[in-house]
Amino acid sequence: MNNQAQQPTSVLPSYITSATPLGNDKRAPWFKNIAPTYAGIFLWFVFWQDAAKAGSLGGTLSQGVGVALLGLVLAALVCHFLFYLVPGLLGMRTGLPLYIVGTSTFGAQGGFIMPGFLMGVLQFGWLGVNVFFSSLAVAGFLGMEAQAWIIMIVWGVLAAFVGLKGIQYVAKVSTYLPLIPLVILALMLIKTMGGVSSFDPQKTIAAHQLLSPTAPAALGTVGVIALILTYVVGFFATAGAAGVDIAMSGRNRKDVSTGGLIGIALAIIVTAGISMLVVAGVYGSTELSAKAIAAGTEKKSFILDSFNLIPVVMSTGAAKWMMFLLAVAAFPPACFSSFIAANSFRTTLPKVNPFISVGIGTAVSIVLAITGLAGKVIPVFVIIGASFGPICGAMMVDYLLSGKKWSGPRAGFNPAGWIAWALGFVVGILPNLGVNVPAAPVAAFVVGAVVFFLCAKLGMQSKIVPISGALAEATK
């Protein structure tokens, strides 16, 4: 198919023709929008708490602190340069949201579903993860561990309701709440940094093996780096594509780039890096490691997540309050997930009451939390990375082939985009099917990018639909 041929404007759905680019008067510097928005995502304790954890002996620290931090830096750079930068530049250049910009990659009809509808659906996976971990923290504070399921129901329903009706109020509160995890991370680092230099991964592996004799063998250097890439990139994948919406309020390329380097790359290294150092500091200290092993024996599992090491590092009273405050600080992200889902469904399912669509999604989130499935974060991150990895890969190639600009919407379902996504998703989801694919979200991105390039060169793209007015300006 000739990708330069054109069709009448009438084939475009109203959601495209009615779109209005964000004006320059509504743009702001990177430190007022892009950087703080992304930094808030990585300050969420669900992201950084498991940075050192894995099912294998010694977790991501099995080859020492240096290898773990190297993997983290690589993951941070991949998130910024591969998953965020192109969506961010597209948002800034066009002033249009993701579900409009995505029509050049997936078609005017296809973009309605992908990434539009898919973005909404996956938000309920995030809501389930939030409900699970936050509710357990609140239950521990209230002494209601056995009744945690009640808190999960209340937490999920309340987050969904606020996301539907009162997100503007939550947004105001969330401006300050991210300071809570930042302060807690700093306090934890101060308390444990003395043990970092004495950390011996072999001693930690041996202690882990005594408590968990059936745990998989320790990962090698490549395995550690691949796992960190899976964990970080899988967590970030949807937020990378959402860079279109987040960076559309940026003024220029420098805002997009600087906002990403600070809010994404630096935030990843700081939050997850401190979490890793805290775990290393605990097991590098004779006193703290003994307490951690005793606490793990009581829990019948070796503790490698920094959240559950808070009681080991801090006093009992302080730890209880700190864990509770981390849960409170996680409430706005739960509301934002519901808000994004509601906006997506309002666009893609305009005839369905958002209370019904979001209500069904919230019910699924709560079930995932109560059953504990939402607590298995790495498989969840693999699914998310498999879903959005090829989307970001295809969008990047589409952007480059179009002369580093938005080409405008393509008719119907653009074959190149959909084939790229399907093959990328298959590769990305293989680890959850028992097939080892190192750094699966990154592999899904690469497959999506390569397949889109090949399909485009073979002419497998639907026709560009002519547009006029402000939308036409967005393609320049």
Kindly state whether residue 465 falls inside one of the protein's structural domains: no
Q: For the residues of 272-297, what is the DSSP string, one character each?
A: HHHHHHHHHHHHHSHHHHHHHHHHHH
Kindly state whether residue 123 falls inside one of the protein's structural domains: yes
CA nearest 475: which of 394, 402, 393? 402
* Cβ pair 283, 199 in contact under 8 A: yes
Kindly state whether residue 382 falls inside one of the protein's structural domains: no
CA dihedral sign of residues 240, 86, 103, 94: positive
The tokens for 45 are: 């304790």
The tokens for 293 are: 């092993």
User: Alpha-carbon distance 141 to 320, whole Å?
Assistant: 6
Helix/strand/coil (H/E/C) assignment for every residue in 80-126? HHHHHHHHHHHHHHHCCCHHHHCHHHHCCCHHHHHHHHHHHHHHHHH
DSSP state of 177: T
Q: Give the chain's largest Cα–Cα span.
A: 73
* Cβ pair 78, 442 in contact under 8 A: yes
DSSP state of 21: P
* Cβ pair 449, 420 in contact under 8 A: yes
Query: What element of type H or E holds 452?
Result: helix 440-457
* Cβ pair 88, 260 in contact under 8 A: yes
Terminal alpha carbon distance of the chain: 23
User: Alpha-carbon distance 28 to 60, whole Å?
Assistant: 38
* Cβ pair 307, 323 in contact under 8 A: yes
Kindly state whether residue 476 falls inside one of the protein's structural domains: no
User: Which CATH number do you get for residue 144?
Assistant: 1.10.4160.10
* Cβ pair 231, 378 in contact under 8 A: yes
Say what the pLDDT of residue 1 is: 42
Kindly state whether residue 22 falls inside one of the protein's structural domains: no
Q: Angle CA(68)–CA(309)–CA(185) in degrees, nearest 5?
A: 70
Kindly state whether residue 296 falls inside one of the protein's structural domains: yes
Domain count, the chain: 1
Say what the pLDDT of residue 89 is: 97
User: Alpha-carbon distance 70 to 393, whole Å?
Assistant: 23
The tokens for 190 are: 């101060």
User: Alpha-carbon distance 72 to 70, whole Å?
Assistant: 5
Q: What is the mean pLDDT of each run of 10 residues along the chain (476 residues)?
A: 44 82 92 89 93 93 98 98 97 92 94 85 90 93 92 94 67 73 97 97 96 95 97 94 92 97 97 98 97 94 96 94 93 83 76 87 95 88 90 97 95 97 96 93 98 98 90 86
Kindly state whether residue 472 falls inside one of the protein's structural domains: no
Say what the pLDDT of residue 424 is: 97
- Flag whether the pTM goes above 0.75: yes
Query: What element of type H or E holds 355?
Result: helix 354-370
CA dihedral sign of residues 48, 51, 55, 59: negative
Residue 223, domain extent: 30-376
Kindly state whether residue 41 falls inside one of the protein's structural domains: yes
Output the CA–CA distances (angstroms, integers) from residue 196 to 192, 285, 434, in the order listed.
7, 8, 35
